[in-house]
């Protein structure tokens, strides 16, 4: 009987953990920034801030570290340039191909106009 109660307790614990995991609050980037900045201001203790916001102190310090590291990288200029992303490279090659098509069509148009007007004759 002892093993049976332990397994049902384990099953109940797993169920509770699953419910907590699915119903846990997801914080947006703006909310995280607001909380981290409130902690950096130092108007109240980190413990009080975390209690008020309903987060653990370790989560606050994780967010704070990520926030400061991102700022440090941005100020150091270590971020990958947007102009080298694969999407931008693809758009540039597409623009080049389109320019070539426009050039070909323009040349073809001029040749057709010349043939309609005759060899070297001017309409004016």
Q: What is the pLDDT of residues 22-65, one digit of tens each?
A: 777 888 999 999 999 999 999 999 999 999 999 999 999 999 99
Read off the pLDDT band of 1 (50, 70, 90): very low
From the number of C-beta atoms within 10 Å of its C-beta (0-12, 13-18, 19+), residue 65 rates as exposed
Whose structure tokens read 């007007």? 117
- Distance, in Å, from the CA atom of 103 to the CA atom of 122, rounded to the nearest integer, reads 23
Give residue-wise pLDDT tens across range 72-107: 888 877 555 666 678 888 889 999 999 999 999 999
7 occurs within a structural domain: no
Angle between helices 57-76 and 46-53 (to 10 degrees): 110
Residue 56 lies in a domain: yes
Q: At what angle do helices 29-41 and 46-53 cross, to 10 degrees?
A: 150
Q: Which residues contact 55 (CB under 8 A, 6 or more apart)?
A: 27, 35
Domain check: are 71 and 33 in the same one? yes
pLDDT: which is higher, 84 or 11 = 11
Q: Which domain holds residue 71?
A: 27-79
Residue 74 and residue 32 share a domain: yes
Could you tell me the pTM of the whole model? 0.48
Query: Whole-angstrom distance between the N-terminal and C-terminal Cα of the chain?
Result: 109
Q: Is the pLDDT of residue 19 over 90?
A: no
């Amino acid at each position: 009987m002892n093993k049976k109660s332990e397994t049902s307790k384990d099953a109940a614990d797993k169920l509770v953990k699953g419910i907590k995991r699915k119903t846990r609050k997801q914080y947006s980037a703006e909310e995280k920034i607001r909380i981290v900045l409130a902690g950096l201001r130092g108007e109240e203790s980190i413990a009080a801030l975390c209690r008020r916001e309903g987060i653990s102190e370790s989560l606050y310090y994780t967010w704070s570290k990520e926030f400061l590291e991102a700022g440090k990288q941005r100020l150091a200029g270590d971020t990958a340039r947007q102009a080298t992303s694969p999407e931008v490279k693809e758009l540039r090659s597409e623009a080049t191909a389109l320019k070539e098509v426009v050039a070909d069509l323009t040349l073809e148009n001029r040749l057709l106009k010349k043939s309609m007007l005759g060899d070297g004759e001017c309409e004016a």
